[in-house]
Amino acid sequence: GEDVEQSLFLSVREGDSSVINCTYTDSSSTYLYWYKQEPGAGLQLLTYIFSNMDMKQDQRLTVLLNKKDKHLSLRIADTQTGDSAIYFCAEMHPGGYQKVTFGTGTKLQVIP
Amino acid sequence: EPEVTQTPSHQVTQMGQEVILRCVPISNHLYFYWYRQILGQKVEFLVSFYNNEISEKSEIFDDQFSVERPDGSNFTLKIRSTKLEDSAMYFCASSEGSGGSKNIQYFGAGTRLSVL
């Protein structure tokens, strides 16, 4: 079955880089996503990567995909206090109906 | 920028009552979804809906749950007889269609359901 795992908590100092890691089990995943959830808010799509890519960069965000190890990471450069949130890794499966499976979420705490 | 909107933001109900959670997906999207997140737990898939019928549903989505697209804009989730364990944040999502970036699901802000 599909499973997505993340570490639960990460604490970094403002200005440092944050790296949030994720592992998944379904090798047939087509898309892998990172969503951000601020307290009491919904799920904001941050970025995504297609499974045939190794890396994607979008401003301060860098996504690395190691398909062999089924490992995904999100690097946030120059982390700001506004980046404090829960970050969810998610995978989408092939087929017609596009169910997304979410990880446990990593709570990022940015220390001023 | 188009967005998925959900109402109400918070719904309080008594156990055994029926609730309807409402969603307005992005207007040109064809696929619609409901997910839920029990406090402190993972976001879980409930159901997907396409072409006016359920495409896939999870084990959570039992006979107490139903979905409907009553008109051209709304997508609703009904829980017939709420239980305490239905208390959760319910997220609606929509995507444009199949293929490439059209698969990306955009989520609403959620409806927090509290069953007393």
Residue A29 has pLDDT above 80, yes or no: no
* Residue B96 contacts A where some CB pair is shorter than 8 Å: no
Band the pLDDT of A95: cuts 50, 70, 90: low
**Contacting residues of B for A106, CB less than 8 Å apart:** none
- Of the residues B9, B33, B45, the best mutation for testing chain A's interface (the one with the most A CB atoms within 10 Å of its CB) is B45
Reading phi first (left if > 0) and then psi (alpha if -120 to 50, else beta), residue A89 is in beta
- The confidence score (pLDDT) of residue A3 equals 84
Q: How many CB atoms lie within 10 A of CB A107?
A: 17
Band the pLDDT of B110: cuts 50, 70, 90: very high
In 3-state terms, what secondary structure has residue B100? helix
User: Nearest CA to CA, how far is A67 from chain B (Å)?
Assistant: 18
Residue A97 has pLDDT above 70, yes or no: no
DSSP character for A36?
Answer: E
Residue with more model confidence, B115 or B1: B115
- Among the partner-chain residues A41, A42, A101, the one whose CB lies closest to the CB of B45 is A101
Most confidently predicted of A24-38, A51-65, B9-23: B9-23
**Contacting residues of B for A101, CB less than 8 Å apart:** 45
User: CB B107 to CB A43 under 8 A?
Assistant: yes
Q: Provide the β-strand partners of residue A102.
A: A90
φ/ψ of residue B94, rounded to 5: -145, 155
A12-16, A27-31, B23-27, B52-56: segment of lowest average pLDDT: A27-31
A46, A36, A34: which is closest to A92 by C-alpha?
A34
A15-29, B70-84, B90-104: segment of lowest average pLDDT: B90-104
* Residue B34 contacts A where some CB pair is shorter than 8 Å: no
Contact status, residue B107 vs residue B26, Cβ threshold 8 Å? no
φ/ψ of residue A20, rounded to 5: -110, 125
- The confidence score (pLDDT) of residue B101 equals 76
- The confidence score (pLDDT) of residue A86 equals 94
User: CB B50 to CB A101 under 8 A?
Assistant: no
User: CB B43 to CB A96 under 8 A?
Assistant: no
User: Nearest CA to CA, how far is A63 from chain B (Å)?
Assistant: 16
Residue type, B105: Q
- Of the residues A22, A97, A102, A107, the best mutation for testing chain B's interface (the one with the most B CB atoms within 10 Å of its CB) is A97
φ/ψ of residue B86, rounded to 5: -80, -10
- The confidence score (pLDDT) of residue A99 equals 81
CA distance A89 to A112: 25
